[in-house]
Amino acid sequence: MKNEHRVAVIIPCLNEEGAIGKTVSEFKRTLPDADIYVYDNNSTDNTILEARNSGALVYKEKRQGKGHVVKRMFFDVEADVYILVDGDNTYDATIAPFLVEQMLREKIDMITATRNFQDHSFPPGHILGNRIFSKLINTFFNAELTDVFSGYRFMTRRFVKSIPIVSNGFEIETELTVHAQQIRASTLEVPSNYGSRPIETKSKLSTYSDGFKILRFILFLLRDVKPFLFFSAISFMLTCTSLSLGVPVISEFYDTGLVERFPTAILSSGIGLIAVMCFFTGIILDSISRSRLETKKINFLSITNNIENL
């Protein structure tokens, strides 16, 4: 790999004493010329001290949440290749030099190291949730992804500097994935080993609460990225509800000439009106979304990448 290519390993961290030192040491060994940054998110243990003693550049982000930390790292750090990795010593650092070389050689904007889950390395509920959400994103955004929640990603400068991050927590991986799909950036998934966390450390991911947040964020992205699909689906459901309420009233009127269930008729008409409004809202917002997408693409392409063939 050419020396002029600056590689930065950026590690968001919260209470990873017992793991962060090993993580930093592994990447210093495999990428001796890379700059390693640890951004601490209000740890209450010896994470900061352990990271510094391992040779990392340590900074703090006071706003709680992984999304806030990643946003800060993307803003602060200058490099040509960014390696985003968790500080829990579960990802395989030995593949990093090869993936950096492949990224530079093939000019890929984001490589995601997908996880090969070993026995007991990940809770079964998390694995199931990952598969379900990956399927949802593949369906909604016309993708073929296997691990949308991997925290081990290799990204170019133009990708990092062009994404307008809006997520606050563990939704950040979803946002990175959807942004890459939306702007049609060159991406690649590469299988990698995934190990168990050190026994003395604890995962910060909650299966149910964080899963609900991620689902809510996917719906938010769907509304933001594909508003016509989002509002058309709502319009369809409201139309079906309106018809189920209104058809019996209309049938009764034809039979008797009377509208005996007047409140039901008003409710059905109101729901039908809302359905029409949702449909046209989707059309209007879709045109706005297309304009925003063009702006994102222009911004993405306007940023200098500074990577050449090896």
CATH of the domain at 54: 3.90.550.10
Least confident of 189-193, 243-247, 249-253: 249-253
**Rounded to whole angstroms, how far apart are CA atoms 299 and 302?**
5
User: Which of 225, 247, 262 is at the close of a domain?
Assistant: 225
Full domain range(s) for residue 240? 227-299
Six-digit token string for 174:
């979803």
User: 85 and 112: one domain?
Assistant: yes
Per-residue pLDDT, 12: 95
Q: Which residue has the higher pLDDT, 217 or 162?
A: 162
User: 24 and 167: one domain?
Assistant: yes
Q: Which residue has the higher pLDDT, 262 or 229?
A: 229
User: 210 and 234: one domain?
Assistant: no
Q: How confident is the model at residue 167 (pLDDT cuts 50, 70, 90)?
A: confident
User: Which of 172, 193, 225 is at the close of a domain?
Assistant: 225
User: 164 and 261: one domain?
Assistant: no
Per-residue pLDDT, 133: 79
Q: How confident is the model at residue 225 (pLDDT cuts 50, 70, 90)?
A: confident
Q: Which residue has the higher pLDDT, 188 or 129?
A: 188
**Rounded to whole angstroms, how far apart are CA atoms 198 and 90?**
8
**Rounded to whole angstroms, how far apart are CA atoms 296 and 301?**
9
Per-residue pLDDT, 121: 55
Least confident of 67-76, 249-258, 279-288: 249-258
Q: Which residue has the higher pLDDT, 290 or 86?
A: 86
User: 249 and 129: one domain?
Assistant: no
Residue 118 has pLDDT above 60, yes or no: no
Q: How confident is the model at residue 2 (pLDDT cuts 50, 70, 90)?
A: very low
User: 288 and 148: one domain?
Assistant: no
Per-residue pLDDT, 201: 60
Residue 9 has pLDDT above 60, yes or no: yes
Q: Is residue 305 part of a domain?
A: no
Q: Is residue 175 part of a domain?
A: yes
Look-up of token digits 């049938």: 251
Least confident of 113-127, 241-255, 296-310: 113-127
**Rounded to whole angstroms, how far apart are CA atoms 207 and 218?**
16
Q: Is residue 23 part of a domain?
A: yes
Q: Is residue 140 part of a domain?
A: yes
Indicate left, alpha or beta for 64 from its phi (over 0: left) and psi (-120 to 50: alpha): beta
Mean pLDDT of 72-91: 94
User: 63 and 160: one domain?
Assistant: yes
Model confidence over 138-160: pLDDT tens digits?
888 777 888 888 899 999 999 99
User: 50 and 116: one domain?
Assistant: yes
User: 98 and 244: one domain?
Assistant: no
Q: Is residue 131 part of a domain?
A: yes
User: Which of 225, 257, 272 is at the close of a domain?
Assistant: 225
User: What global pTM score does this model have?
Assistant: 0.80
Per-residue pLDDT, 309: 42
Give φ, ψ of 79 to 5 degrees.
-160, 175
User: 201 and 240: one domain?
Assistant: no
Structural domain count, the chain: 2
Model confidence over 174-207: pLDDT tens digits?
889 989 988 889 999 999 988 776 665 666 566 5
Strands 81-84 and 153-156: antiparallel
User: 95 and 70: one domain?
Assistant: yes
Six-digit token string for 166:
């809006």
Q: Is residue 286 part of a domain?
A: yes
Mean pLDDT of 14-35: 94
Q: Is residue 306 part of a domain?
A: no
Tell me how crowded residue 140 is: count the other CB atoms within 10 A of its CB: 18
What is 236-299 written as a DSSP string?
HHHHHHHHHHHHHHHHHHHHHS----HHHHHHHHHHHHHHHHHHHHHHHHHHHHHHHHHHHHHH
Query: Do residues 204 and 15 touch, judged by C-beta distance below 8 A?
Result: yes
Q: Is residue 166 part of a domain?
A: yes
User: 268 and 216: one domain?
Assistant: no
Mean pLDDT of 200-227: 72
